[in-house]
Amino acid sequence: MTRLVSVLALAVFLLAAAAAAEPGPGPDRAPPAATVGIDPRADREPPAAKIVPRAFEAHGVRWVDEYHWLADRDDPDTMAYLAAENAYAERRLVRLRPLVEELAAELHARADGAHVSADFVEHGYVYRRRYVPGARFAAVVRRRNQPGASEQVVLDVEALAAGHKQYELNNYTVSPDNEIVVFAVDFTGDRRHRIFWRNLATGAVADTGIENAASDLVLAADSRTLFYLRTEPGTVRAHQLWRHTLGTPAAQDTLLHEEGDIGFELGVGRSKSDRYILLRSEHQNTSELRILRADRPHEPFRLVEPRRKGVVYAADHVGDSFYIRTNLDAPDFRLVRAPEDAPGAANWVEILPETPGRHIAYFSTFETFLATVEDGEAGRTVRVFRRADMREIAVPRPQALGVMDLYVADGNANRDASATTLQVRFNSLLHPTAIYEFDTRTGGLTLRERSLAARWFDPDAYEVKRIVATAPDGEAVPATVMYRKGRLRAGGNPTLVTGYGAYGWGQHPGFPGDWVSLIDRGFVYVLAHVRGGREKGQRWHDRGRMLAKMNSFTDFIAVTEAVVAQGFADPRRVFSQGGSAGGLLVGAAMNLRPELYAGVVAEVPFVDVLTSTFDTSLPLISLELEEWGNPVVKAQFDAIRAYSPYDNVAAKAYPPMFVTAGLHDTQVGYQEPAKWVARLRARKTDRNEILFLTNMEAGHTGLSGRFGAVAERARIIAWLVSLAEP
């Protein structure tokens, strides 16, 4: 999940909250007598978190949060509660051990061959990721782009990660002179990186001394001047651009630019031509760009176009022009061109107009052509145009339904501006990930690499259908359904309905991966393309955010009802699953219609929306109020309060739940699912189990490496299968 309250507004809110707070434990107070413990020998009695009432007030509304204390990770009771929940979940899962072990072996074997890498060319070398069976991580290797060239290891990630439980190499860049590689590593999963560099001739690895950095890295044309971003303490917002000379102490680095608006975050990259360094400052609906000649790293950056609220633009450079994607006068975006010496909006010339309902997600430029990636009709596709006259060159699709986009391995594939071919990636519910090469001269599409999943996955054994549900306001909501042929029963099957619906990121109909193991055990798998994504363009996003966010949840419920009504789902065995903002989706839908679901899986769920959006010191919150709303504004406060899962837990029956968290998660703090589970345990009127597992060594995306998710996903699938048994 990605996630504008002023500091003053926050301070006013917290002062009001403190003034209204009921007496509770603090440094000089004892815990209340109502604190409840747990008998560790009792398999059926879950933990009960202590109750420490804390009152808040805003807009004349007063509410009490009895589990606010769980946000304090330094409180020994917090760690004790998380440990108790983990222990309880482990005890409850013992009964599923045979199935969990069977699934873990199955998923591990499939994960060992699930990754696919194709060659790509940059600076005269051919690069690829080489996967060794059984290894957690790949090696990045290269050879000169000439016949008979020997292979050279750029980064042996498996060796570098040895001894580290968590090791996320989130970016690397090779110098223009091909002599060194700089790379950024996150050792905890909290999105704070340490930067290293390696001499490719000697193999020596050096620590730059740069800590708390974002993963963006750019080397200037001199191959020794590095531009990187530092993250803001607390929020982990990339807010400063720094310049570093490799081989010198980080203490001598120069601060070049600081983004002072807490609603904006920086990003830095390089143009396709390699002639410019691009410094982006981005908010959800506003952006601006600064540029610097890569061969003049000590000159100041030049502003392209000042930020204007609601105007988004992103640029790349090829030849003597900048090519720009913008929503100016085009909600679903258009492409414009501008001369490199005067790239401001006054000189933008439209070259590809907007197509309403088809959102241009991003684009890539080359010397002879350019490519766009577009979302529409609950799918994603690639379009290619000749640069000279913008005549479209038709790109064949392997299948009608699916996800077709550019191959962007390590952010470096499709980097050769002189290429006449384009590497595209395609996958669908029936098509494991494959990489194709599209020849822009002949229009031919050639398969280059295919995931090893094709060895065990038989597409002829499954059926995929697109259906439509009708939302309460009459909107047609698409959904994609998958099941094994010959397994659909009269009266419906156990069914898993999944969704996301936020930030304009859709639930694309891509290869289901681990969920194939669930489908093979009789489940129908459903992707709900709810509002909040961009499956139908920008309008689909706008009608599922801020004051209209409730549409996401009612869309999800409408899809659930539709798969039952159309005979796919057994109404007694319908389950839901979502992660991050998708966890918010399933949590809110469960509050609205708990009787619809036989079980809910919420992975690192964003469920404490009201408290979080009031606190801009939390990671991502200041960047995301255009998505959820600003609770300082009364109407937006009311909208958030109406759907926030934590704030709407009531004394009623809820379905069984499987909830996860990551202790080092800086996108959704562990305390959100922890508080939610604690309140559900205290208020719900049923005896249905809640399993809550916190990964004490990981962040938002779980443990790193190819097998990091295997144990957790095996448990979730086993739990769903057990609940679906007649």
Dihedral of the CA atoms 499, 503, 504, 507 (nearest 10)? -20
- Out of 273, 580, 612, 644, pick the active-site residue: 580
For 200, other C-beta atoms within 10 Å of its C-beta total 18
User: Which of 567, 560, 565 shows the shortest CA–CA distance to 585?
Assistant: 560
Copy the structure tokens of residue 718. Answer: 């086993």
- Strands 524-528 vs 493-498: parallel, antiparallel or unpaired: parallel
For the chain, count helices (H), then strands (E).
13, 38
Q: Compute the distance between CA of residue 701 and CA of residue 189 in angstroms, rounded to an integer.
A: 7
Residue 257 annotated among the catalytic residues of the structure: no
The residues near 533 (Cβ < 8 Å, ≥ 6 apart) are: 375, 500, 501, 502, 504, 505, 506, 507, 540, 541, 544
CA within 13 Å, CB half, 331: 11
CA distances (Å), 470 to each of 63, 120, 425, in order?
35, 44, 32
Q: Which residues of 466-479 are buried (b: 16+ CB within 10 A; e: fewer)?
A: bbebebeeebebbb
Residue 439 annotated among the catalytic residues of the structure: no
- Out of 119, 405, 555, 665, pick the active-site residue: 665
Residue length of the chain: 726
Residue 700 annotated among the catalytic residues of the structure: yes
- Out of 244, 359, 541, 700, pick the active-site residue: 700
The dihedrals phi and psi of 358, each to the nearest 5 degrees, come to -125, 105
Q: Compute the distance between CA of residue 552 and CA of residue 557 in angstroms, rounded to an integer.
A: 9
- Check: CB of residue 483 under 8 Å from CB of residue 519: yes
User: Which of 231, 165, 250 shows the shortest CA–CA distance to 193?
Assistant: 231
Dihedral of the CA atoms 374, 376, 379, 382 (nearest 10)? -20
DSSP codes joined into one string, 681-710: HHH--S---EEEEEETT-BTTBS-STTTTH
**Long-range Cβ pairs for the range 247-256 (8 Å, 24+):** 247/206, 249/209, 250/208, 250/209, 250/210, 251/209, 253/210, 256/227, 256/301
State the catalytic residues. Answer: 580, 665, 700
